[in-house]
Amino acid sequence: MPEIVESPRIAVYGLGAMGLDIVRILHGRGADIVAGIVRPGSDKDGRSLGELAGVPGLAFPARGDAEQVLRESAPDIVVVTVSTYLDETQYEIFATAVRAGADVITLAEEMLYPFATDNPLARELDALAKRHEVTVTGTGHQDAYWVNLVSVLAGSTHDLGSVTGRLSWNVDDFGRALAEQQRVNATAEEFARWQAHAERPPTFTHYSLYALAAALGLTPQGALRTTTEPVIAERDVRSKALGATVGQGRLLGYTDTDTLETEEGVTLSVSSRGSVYEEHERDFNEWNLTDSSGRPTLHLRDSDLDTAHTTCATLVNRIPDVIAARPGIVTVDKLPQLRFRPVRRAS
């Protein structure tokens, strides 16, 4: 078993909105933050981490020379908040931390269950982490609300036929890049052309359904199916992320629906709407379970969520679990039940 670190040394790689929120949470909990890392050439390179995060006491600069920073700061774990998918660039970020002997915990959605698409980079990273005897895990909002809570709900029934989820999140909470990815402000015609010709990577919920299947002890059968529908503005709506008004008839975003069949006959499905919100809208997660005859049995709704913040808080609460886990890529279904971590104040 890995050595339990009571007060781990933590580096944060990626200082966008999510990374800086994690810095603020960690700082507020008295964590030992030893480094802030940005990509080479970032306009944040050289600026004080405390200044960037708006908290006192973190006077050391954010830096872009990751290998040197990790060598000097010797973190026990590196928080990575850079990108969604495990591509060559993301692999090298993870590998740099692993080669430095640090565990890795990330918000990259693919890392929640990277083996779902048989990504060869996942196999390489798993082998590298095992050689260096460290752990790599993806977590975030989906760990708490799309896997843990749902698996607990399903644990209260004896007969399961289907699990169906509906999710909504505000594109404006995640910045310009994600708003553009969600095709915000495109016309319906532009969206239709994009949908017909784009080579899209798997959706965010693609990986979560495989993680949920694993948490429920189910075996996926056949290929996961995805459908996509645009969310059209019924009136003009201002987008904070784009700094522009989305006109009536243009896209606020879109909804992906993923469906996964299992050998046990249980159907898992989730519809995820990512769009710019009107003033009255709020994030939510809603799950409905049926028995094997299709009769509704259980219902769970989490309303008025702050998805961006719960994503970051979930990661912080998962840090001890990742440090204690076996080497290699360890998915959240193999970790203990997610729980709150109280701050131990000196008396």
Q: What is the mean pLDDT of residues 178-196?
A: 95
Burial class (CB in 10 A: 0-12, 13-18, 19+), 14: buried
CATH of the domain at 74: 3.40.50.720
Q: What number is the average pLDDT over the span 161-179? A: 93
Q: Whole-model pTM? A: 0.92
Task: Mark whether 132 and 146 lie in a shared domain.
Answer: no
Phi-psi region of 181 (alpha: psi -120 to 50; beta: other; left: phi over 0): alpha
Read off the pLDDT of residues 34-91 as tens digits, 9 standing for 90 and up: 999 999 899 999 999 999 999 988 999 999 999 999 999 999 999 999 988 999 999 9
The reply to whether 149 and 279 lie within a common domain is yes
> In what order do the strands lie in the sheet containing 103-106?
32-37, 9-13, 77-80, 103-106, 135-138, 328-329
Q: Using CA atoms, how far apart are residues 104 and 235, in angstroms rounded to an integer?
A: 44
**Does the pLDDT at position 148 exceed 60?**
yes
- 117: in domain: yes
Over residues 307-331, the pLDDT tens digits come to 989 999 999 999 999 999 999 999 9
Is residue 344 in a domain?
no
pLDDT value for 104: 98
Find the mean pLDDT for residues 138-154.
Answer: 96
Q: Are residues 45 and 26 located together in one domain of the fold?
A: yes
Question: How far is it, in rounded angstroms, from Cα 314 to Cα 323?
Answer: 15
Tell whether 187 and 104 lie within a shared domain. no
154 in the same domain as 34: no
User: Using 50, 70 and 90 to split pLDDT, how confident is the model at 1?
Assistant: very low
pLDDT band at 204 (very low <50, low <70, confident <90, very high): confident
Q: Say what the pLDDT of residue 5 is.
A: 57
What are the pLDDT digits (tens) for 243-289? 999 999 999 999 999 999 999 999 999 999 999 999 999 999 999 99
The range of the structural domain enclosing residue 328 comes to 9-138+309-334
Is residue 179 domain-shared with residue 287, that is, in the same domain? yes
Q: Could you give the number of structural domains in the chain?
A: 2
| CATH number for 150 | 3.30.360
> Does 149 score more than 70 pLDDT?
yes
Report yes or no on 93 lying in a domain. yes
